[in-house]
Amino acid sequence: MTTPDYITQLKPNQIFVFGSNLAGFHGGGAARIAYEQFGAEWGVGVGPTGQCYAIPTMQGGVETIKPYVDDFIRYAEQHPELTFFVTRIGCGIAGFADEQIAPLFVAAHDLPNVALPKGWR
């Protein structure tokens, strides 16, 4: 399953997964969409928030993102009733390339409820 390029609405069981900062200041990119359209709470930079899931990407290198991705994958495994649309986290304002972030999601490849951006599988 592939995440659509643009997500403008979600069904009740669908979750918008976006790149955030630890402070939960959702000022731009997908984080702003999460805040304005899907209920992400200002000040919540990690985990479930509104109809979203926040993965921090602004605190350092790729190695600092991996533990948060691992937590997300465990969460998705524990919630098979939800469908998660992972956006290109870290590949906008945070400045990482798809080739750097996509490998962090290898463990999600077999999860039927996790959609990944085009080219990340």
Q: What is the pLDDT of residues 64-115, one digit of tens each?
A: 999 999 999 999 999 999 999 999 999 999 999 999 999 999 999 999 999 9
**DSSP codes joined into one string, 61-120:** SHHHHHHHHHHHHHHHHH-TTSEEEE--TTSSTT---HHHHGGGGGGGTT-TTEEB-TT-
pTM, whole model, 2 decimals?
Answer: 0.97
Q: What is the pLDDT of residues 11-53, one digit of tens each?
A: 999 999 999 999 999 999 999 999 999 999 999 999 999 999 9
